[in-house]
Amino acid sequence: MSAEFILRELSALDESGQFGEPLDIHVREGRIADMGKNLPLSDVLSIDCSGLWLMPGVFDCHAHPAMWCRDALETLRTPVTEWALAAADSLRRTLKGGITFLRDAGGADAGLRNALEKGYATGPRLQISIVLLSQTGGQMDGFLPGPGLELPVGYLLPDYPGRPPYRVDGVDEMRRAVREVIRAGADWVKLVAASAPHQEGQDFDRVEYTLEELQTAVFEAGRAGKPVMVDAKMPEAIEMCVRAGARSVEHGVFLDEERAALMATAGTWLVPTQYVYRDLQQKAEAGAFGPKTMAVLDNFHSRRGEVVRIARAHGVRMALGSDAFGHEMHGNNLRELLYLHEMGMPVAEVLQTATVRGAELCGVEDRYGRLAPGYVFDAIAFEEDPSDLRLFEHPDVVRMVFQGGEPRLPHPRLLDAGVPEEVPVGA
Ligand SMILES: [Zn+2]
């Protein structure tokens, strides 16, 4: 697309999380040059977008595009090249689903991030954590007791040359593992301090990792300027994350008042993933899990809404995360907006949580996450008012996606204006 254009008469999301009166947006060299009503006519390509709603591209701050397969045996049978291309397919669908920036919560490696930057494939801008560091016997330990085999991370990722270790115990191993993860190109260091509900036989409420192990990870990552994100559900695990200095707590299902106050004081972020639990609940109801997992999910279900209510009451900073993994979830990440709202978050706050707050968590709020002059033009558009969040229950509601001023999903109005359907990708 031309380096300069004006989209006219869009309802655009403003700083307060509301869609204002229609205005024009002038984009030059990938950034917003100007915004306002009736920008003067000029030689610049001008496209009528009246009737469209525009918002910044959404930040999914917890997703696993490289975990596209939930079947352990299928993962083990898949050649690593096929795995990588399937991950690229997840990334493409995620971008077309409205996510222009994604913080990988484990699975995506530097190769996927670099391939997107080089334009070999399309996808959200990626920050990666590569592996999920987990203790022996913890959530991501793929040990098979029958044959006594050590297997890849929770069976969801393949082994490949250069992949850092994921099963880590003790302070010394932690120091080395964090260094190896950073050496492999990670933007974040990801740890698991709690088991997952869908793994039959594991105690979901067990606290994994000691405070010393977590502190070592945060210290070592910090020396390289990298933040730490930790999966934690129980209050005790959340407290350890805060005391260790993690930048974000993931899930936080059983957050209580006391720990919410701790998080707010320390400035620790919360990413309360809800889509994944709804998805697991649906699968459980369809008979996918055993009785123990059902009981755990029922327990989670009973807490729905509490984590967001408590976090809001204490002023804990929150960003959006779908925890998308598996074929069906990738591309439907925006459902998380509706679920945050259903948990008691007002619409305007949901829209900010999905955009500007995500940019803050990822440390890129100076150039992404807002529709404002000077900001990179990563934006998505709808033909219906997205402040009715029920829209996000439906597929294909995102009708236009821009990344750095390039249309990754061009609206028919753009095609009518002569923008080619096949848009070359590239940095
Ligand atoms: Zn996750």
152 CA to centre of ligand 1 in angstroms: 16
Q: Which residues surround ligand 1, an ion (CB under 5 A)?
A: 105, 323
319 CA to centre of ligand 1 in angstroms: 14
CA distance 137 to 114: 33
261 CA to centre of ligand 1 in angstroms: 24
346 CA to centre of ligand 1 in angstroms: 25
Q: Which residues are CB-neighbours of 82 under 8 A, at least 6 positions away?
A: none
169 CA to centre of ligand 1 in angstroms: 21
Amino acid at 238: I
132 CA to centre of ligand 1 in angstroms: 9
157 CA to centre of ligand 1 in angstroms: 13
103 CA to centre of ligand 1 in angstroms: 11
Which residues are registered as beta bridge partners of 380?
Answer: 55, 401
49 CA to centre of ligand 1 in angstroms: 37
226 CA to centre of ligand 1 in angstroms: 19
For position 427, what pLDDT does the model report? 40
81 CA to centre of ligand 1 in angstroms: 23
Read off the DSSP letter of residue 125.
E
127 CA to centre of ligand 1 in angstroms: 14
141 CA to centre of ligand 1 in angstroms: 15
For position 197, what pLDDT does the model report? 54
Helix, strand, coil percentages for the chain (3-state, nearest 5): 35, 20, 45
67 CA to centre of ligand 1 in angstroms: 10
123 CA to centre of ligand 1 in angstroms: 19
pTM reported for the whole predicted model: 0.95
252 CA to centre of ligand 1 in angstroms: 12
374 CA to centre of ligand 1 in angstroms: 33
63 CA to centre of ligand 1 in angstroms: 6
273 CA to centre of ligand 1 in angstroms: 8
Strand pairing class (99-104; 125-127):
parallel
366 CA to centre of ligand 1 in angstroms: 27
Written as tens digits, the pLDDT of the chain (427 aa) is: 778 999 999 999 999 999 999 999 999 999 999 999 999 878 899 999 999 999 999 999 999 999 998 888 888 899 999 999 999 999 999 999 999 999 999 999 999 999 999 999 999 999 999 999 999 888 888 788 888 887 766 667 888 888 998 899 999 999 999 999 999 999 999 999 876 655 555 566 678 899 999 999 999 999 999 999 999 999 999 999 999 999 999 999 999 999 999 999 999 999 999 999 888 888 888 888 888 778 888 888 888 779 999 999 999 999 999 999 999 999 999 999 999 999 999 999 999 999 999 999 999 999 999 999 999 999 999 999 999 999 999 989 999 999 999 999 999 999 888 887 765 554 4
197 CA to centre of ligand 1 in angstroms: 12
For position 244, what pLDDT does the model report? 97
The strands making up 228-232's β-sheet, listed across from edge to edge, are: 132-133, 189-192, 228-232, 248-251, 269-271
326 CA to centre of ligand 1 in angstroms: 11
Which residues are registered as beta bridge partners of 32?
Answer: 27
Closest CA to 270 of 242, 297, 243: 242
In 259-313, the DSSP E strands lie at 269-271
323 CA to centre of ligand 1 in angstroms: 5
